[in-house]
Amino acid sequence: MTDHDTEIADDPRDPAQPPRAAALLGYAGVIPFVATAVIIFFLYPRDEAQIVLTYQIAYGAVILSFLGGIRWSLAMLFPEDEALLKRLALSVVPSIAAWAALFVPPIWGLVILIAAFWGQAGSDVRATRLHEAPQWYGGYRVRLSILVIGALVLSVLGIVLRS
């Protein structure tokens, strides 16, 4: 048994659970989605809610781009092989979807974000199963995505119910 094997065997962390820092920061990142969704749901179509809706879509675009950046980084960990181009190409899809969400009417921006976060979560689960991401990453991303998508759906409901 090498020193590296001993380090892994002695690691008390659950490989299925994200590191504490990642969990805390990830869940803290959901707060703006929830806060803006509550404002939109209860105050739409007031001007304040429409401004907050713009902020929510912009924040969603930033976070989606960030998730694509994570996948770019993970792809770079693998040798240059025939799958690298595919991994890198897929990692830019979230940024393109996020950018598109900024240029359509807000309700459609929300729909694009919902679909993109859903697709990204599925892609992250697949990457975990293929050992292209840490063992904890897929489940963690699904849990965060459920919260984010729920907040975005609440915003859609607030708009649809008051339009």
> What tokens does 26 get?
């990830």
What pLDDT shows up at residue 5?
A: 46
**Rounded to an integer, what distance in angstroms lies between the CA atom of residue 26 and that of residue 31?**
9
Which among 76, 74, 157, 57 is positioned nearest to 116, based on CA atoms?
Answer: 57
Percent share of the chain, pLDDT over 70: 92
In whole angstroms, give the CA distance from residue 62 to residue 66.
6
Spatial neighbors of 84 by CB under 8 A, at least 6 apart, are 75, 78
| CA nearest to 41, candidates 32, 52, 30, 31 | 52
The predicted model scores a pTM of 0.90
Collect the ranges in the chain with pLDDT lower than 50: 1, 3-9
Report the pLDDT value the prediction gives residue 8, as an integer from 0 to 100.
44
